[in-house]
Amino acid sequence: MPKDTLTIIDNRTEKSYEIPVQYGAIDAMALRKIKVDPSDFGLMTYDPGFANTASCKSAITYIDGDKGILLYRGYPIQQLAEKSTYLETAYLLLNGDLPSASALKLWQGEINIHTMIHENIKDFMKGFRYDAHPMAMLMSTVAALSTFYSDAKTIQDPASRHLQVVRLIGKMITLAAFAYRHSMGMRYIYPDNELTYTGNFLNMMYRIAGPYEINRVYERALDILFILHADHEQNCGTHVLRSVASSHVDPYTAVTAAIGALYGPLHGGANEAVIRMLMEIGSKDRVPEYVRRVKAGEFRLMGFGHRVYKSYDPRAKIIKEIAYEVFAQTAPSPLLEVALELERIALEDEYFVARKLYPNVDFYSGLIYQAMGFPITIFPVLFAIPRVTGWLAQWLEFIADDEQKIARPRQLYLGKPERDYVPIGART
C-alpha cells in the first residue's frame, strides 16, 4: 500500500527517518531531527535562488512551466486577456472570484476616486534630477506615500488594508505618468476619472494642450498587457514583497522593496534591456554574430529564458498577437524584424533548445511599448503598475496565513572558525 511519506536513511548514522509528504513537498523543519549526535544542529537544505523551495501555500496564481500554463484563480490567462479588463482581473486576484456587475462598478469607482495624489507628492517629485530614471522615481515616491498614510501601519485592520489596496492601485498610474512628465520637463496632468484606467494613464502621459484623443487600440492593448503582468506567483519581486511584509511593515514600504527587485535587468528591467539589445544588434544580418557571442557566454539574450517556463511563455504568445495589432496603427518597427529573426534563429539553435530557452513576456512587450510612443526608461514602470495588484493579493494572503512567520533563511557558514583579535601592530 503506497504511503505519502519519504524514508531517508542517513548513511552517517545508519538511522532511518520517515517524513510525511504533503502537496508534493516535505516540511523543511522535519529534516532538523536528522542529526549525527544530539549536539548537531540538524540537517538543512541548500537552495540558492530558492529554485526548489516553496515558501508559502498560495491560491492565487498557478503556473505549469513545462506545459506553458498560467492561471489566475483558476482562469486561463488567455481567456482573461481576451474577455476581461485589467481592473476586473485585479478584483479577481485580490478577492478570489470574478465580480458581479454591481461589484465591478463599485470597484472601478473606488479605484477611480483614489487616482489623485496629495499636492505635496507632486512637489516631492519635482525634487528629482531632470534625468532621474522613472522607475527609481516611482520607487521612492511609493515609499514616500507611507509618510502620507500613517493609518497603513494598522495592517491587522481589514478596512485599513482595503483602503491601502485601492489607494495603491489608483495612484500607480498617476505616479508613473508624473515620473514620465518629470523626465520630459512637462507639466503634470491630473487624473480624469471619466476615463478608463488605461485611458486615464495615457491621457496623463501624453496630453499636451487641449483634449487628447485616446487611441482605442492602444488603450485595449495596454489593458491586456496589464492583465498579463498582474501576477506571476513567487517571482523575485513577489518574494521580496512577502519577505519585507513579513516584518509587518506597512504595504507602501513592502511594495517599494518589490519595485526595487523588479527594477533589475534580470527581472522587470528586461523589457528595457531587450530594446537596448535589439538596437545594439541593429539589423537582421547581424543576428547570427550576436547569437554566437551569447553562446560563447559573453552576455545573455535578453527576453529569453525563464526560471519556471521551460516552454514558450504563454504571455509571450498573447503579446506577439497584440504587437501586430499595435503595429497596424504605427509605422513598421525596424526592430521587430531583428526580434523575429532573433527568435527564429534561437528557437532552432541547439544551445537554446537544449536549455529550454524560449521568449518570455518581455521579449515583445518592449516593442509594443515603443510603438505606442513610450520611452524605454518607462518600460519597467509599465510592468510595476499592474504588478502592484499581484503584490497586494499576495500581501493579503500572507496576512491571513497563520503559518507564515518573519522571513529568516539559514546559511551554511564556511568562514573562519573563532579566533582572537590581533592588535594592529602585531598583524603580519
CA distance 360 to 302: 9
CA 144-148-153 angle, 5° bins: 95
Is 170 one of the binding residues for ligand CMC (CB under 6 A)?
no
| Among residues 355, 373, 400, 401, the one that binds ligand CMC under rule CB under 6 A | 355
Q: Cβ of residue 303: shortest distance to ligand CMC, in angstroms?
A: 5
| Among residues 207, 306, 320, 387, the one that binds ligand CMC under rule CB under 6 A | 306
Nearest to ligand CMC of 125, 261 (CB atom): 261
Q: Of 73-81, 239-247, 262-270, 420-428, which part binds ligand CMC (CB under 6 A)?
A: 262-270
- 8 Å CB contact between 200 and 87: no
Is 235 one of the binding residues for ligand CMC (CB under 6 A)?
yes
CA 303-344-308 angle, 5° bins: 40
Nearest to ligand CMC of 268, 314 (CB atom): 268
Is 184 one of the binding residues for ligand CMC (CB under 6 A)?
no
Nearest to ligand CMC of 35, 307 (CB atom): 307
CA 74-103-397 angle, 5° bins: 45
Q: Of 95-103, 173-181, 261-269, 329-337, which part binds ligand CMC (CB under 6 A)?
A: 261-269
Is 268 one of the binding residues for ligand CMC (CB under 6 A)?
yes
| Among residues 94, 244, 302, 335, the one that binds ligand CMC under rule CB under 6 A | 302
| Among residues 73, 114, 133, 232, the one that binds ligand CMC under rule CB under 6 A | 232
Q: Cβ of residue 374: shortest distance to ligand CMC, in angstroms?
A: 17
Between the alpha carbon of residue 136 and those of residues 21, 176, 256, the distances in Å are 43, 11, 10
Is 253 one of the binding residues for ligand CMC (CB under 6 A)?
no
Nearest to ligand CMC of 152, 241 (CB atom): 241
Is 314 one of the binding residues for ligand CMC (CB under 6 A)?
no
| Among residues 360, 365, 377, 389, the one that binds ligand CMC under rule CB under 6 A | 360
Q: Cβ of residue 260: shortest distance to ligand CMC, in angstroms?
A: 13
Q: Cβ of residue 70: shortest distance to ligand CMC, in angstroms?
A: 11
Is 303 one of the binding residues for ligand CMC (CB under 6 A)?
yes
| Among residues 172, 270, 281, 318, the one that binds ligand CMC under rule CB under 6 A | 270
CA distance 24 to 9: 20
Is 292 one of the binding residues for ligand CMC (CB under 6 A)?
no
Q: Cβ of residue 19: shortest distance to ligand CMC, in angstroms?
A: 27
Q: Which residue is nearest to ligand CMC (CB)?
A: 305
| Among residues 81, 301, 338, 371, the one that binds ligand CMC under rule CB under 6 A | 301
Is 307 one of the binding residues for ligand CMC (CB under 6 A)?
yes
The three cell numbers of residue 12 are: 552517517
Q: Of 20-28, 108-116, 265-273, 319-327, which part binds ligand CMC (CB under 6 A)?
A: 265-273
Is 382 one of the binding residues for ligand CMC (CB under 6 A)?
no
Is 276 one of the binding residues for ligand CMC (CB under 6 A)?
no
Catalytic residues: 267, 306, 362
In the sheet that 75-76 helps form, which strands lie side by side, from edge to edge? 61-64, 69-72, 75-76
Taking the CA of residue 213 as centre, how many other CA atoms within 13 Å lie in the half-sphere pointing to its CB?
1
Q: Cβ of residue 341: shortest distance to ligand CMC, in angstroms?
A: 16
Is 207 one of the binding residues for ligand CMC (CB under 6 A)?
no
> Which residues here bind ligand CMC, judged by CB under 6 A?
232, 235, 266-268, 270, 294, 300-307, 355, 357, 360-362
